Structure 1
Amino acid sequence: MPKPPEPLFLDRIDTPMGEGLVIFDGEGALRAFDWTSHEARMHKLLRRQNGSVTLTEAPAPEGIVTAFAAYFAGERQAIDRLTCRTGGTAFQKSVWAALRTIPAGETWSYKRLAEAIGNPAAVRAVGLANGANPIGIVVPCHRVIGSDGSLTGYGGGLDRKRWLLGHEGAAFRDIAA
């Protein structure tokens, strides 16, 4: 008998970069964050990492809404307190846990992230796990840049990555500027 779909909840919040999608579970843990312009990608990641899920629109818990509002208002550590829960492989989860240790205002290379999880040869695999991160901003994959300090891909788009890093006061090499 197939496992029944996991019930998850969806709310929409305003951000300085457009409307955000907040996915959370019945216990109030954040399960995904993305922008409405990337909603299809978010649904794909949810299915890949969690199997079948059902999304019901509901107001996000006050703690999630307050943390995002505080982050966008300049309190860069406000999102660090959020409880997150993801699907994914053990390797992906180790990468995502390491991402949460990168302080706001700092950037790491993919190599440094691979070293942080104790697997320095896994730079490409770390990059793939970084790209499959379902909880943008809170699991700060935007803080990972190229070894030369340049911006690299970001699921929410390079303009958002540039904005987020600037908002956090991080140094990076912007070849598009």
Structure 2
Amino acid sequence: MKQVLKYTVFPTPLGPMYAAASEAGVCRVTSGVTDEAFATDMLNRFDAQLAFVPDDRLLAAVEDQITRYFEGKLKDFDLPVDFLRGTSFTRQVWTAQQAIPYGQWRSYKWVAEQVRRPRAARAVGQANSCNDIGLLVPCHRVITSDGRLGGYGGRPEVKAFLLDLEGTDYNR
């Protein structure tokens, strides 16, 4: 039997934001997709059945905190996350990135050093491309050592928007 994941969708400056959660925590946050694309993505990523739950307490907290983040009223998310997929290394990368403060950035090399793999900066970038929980695992705060954006699976203009929203100083 497939795992059932609850989800909701709500408006943000990036367009509709989709958030999904297991019983353990938030497992997916994404924008820039259609309802159909989101459902297909969830099936492909997690082989899960989706259930729209408009009054779920955790999903309501996700919507509230992300909305306040975009309003500039929240700097630190206080939500449980559930890494439903990923290797031990990618999970270490994602966990390390959760410690990067709002309004600041760290380099791919810095993240690699935090997970005790100092020569794995490119692998950090690859781990970021698999991040299912954007915003809550702030891979947008990871940029090149010289302060340039670097890559971003969520579209480079979104990375720039998020860093600008946070007042982050980087090389535009």
SS at match of 2:4: strand
| Deviation digits for residues 59-118 of structure 1 (CA, Å, limit 9, x no counterpart) | 253221211111111124242x11101121111110000010000101011001100111
What TM-score, normalized to structure 2?
Answer: 0.88
Q: Distance in 1 between matches of 2:135 and 2:159?
A: 9
Q: Distance in 2 between matches of 1:166 and 1:131?
A: 21
CA gap of 1:12–1:44, structure 2 versus 1, over 3 A, is closer
SS at match of 1:142: helix
Specify the alignment match of 1:22 in structure 2: 19
Q: CA RMSD in A?
A: 2.1
Specify the alignment match of 1:54 in structure 2: 49
CA gap of 1:154–1:66, structure 2 versus 1, over 3 A, is same
Work out whether 1:37 is the aligned partner of 2:33.
yes
1:168 CA drift (Å): 0.7
Work out whether 1:122 is the aligned partner of 2:114.
no
Specify the alignment match of 2:160 in structure 1: 162
What TM-score, normalized to structure 1?
Answer: 0.85
Segments of structure 2 that go 5 or more residues without pairing to the other structure are none
Pairs aligned (count): 167
List aligned pairs for 1:4-153, cutoff 5 A.
Answer: 4-27=1-24, 29-37=25-33, 40=37, 44=41, 47-48=44-45, 50=46, 52-59=47-54, 60=56, 61-79=59-77, 81-87=78-84, 88-153=86-151
SS at match of 1:102: coil
1:41 CA drift (Å): 8.0
Segments of structure 1 that go 5 or more residues without pairing to the other structure are none
Q: Is the 8 A contact 1:45 1:132 kept in 2?
A: no
SS at match of 2:7: strand
Q: Distance in 2 between matches of 1:42 and 1:109?
A: 33
Q: Which runs of 4+ in 1 moved over 6 A?
A: none
Q: Is the 8 A contact 1:23 1:32 kept in 2?
A: yes
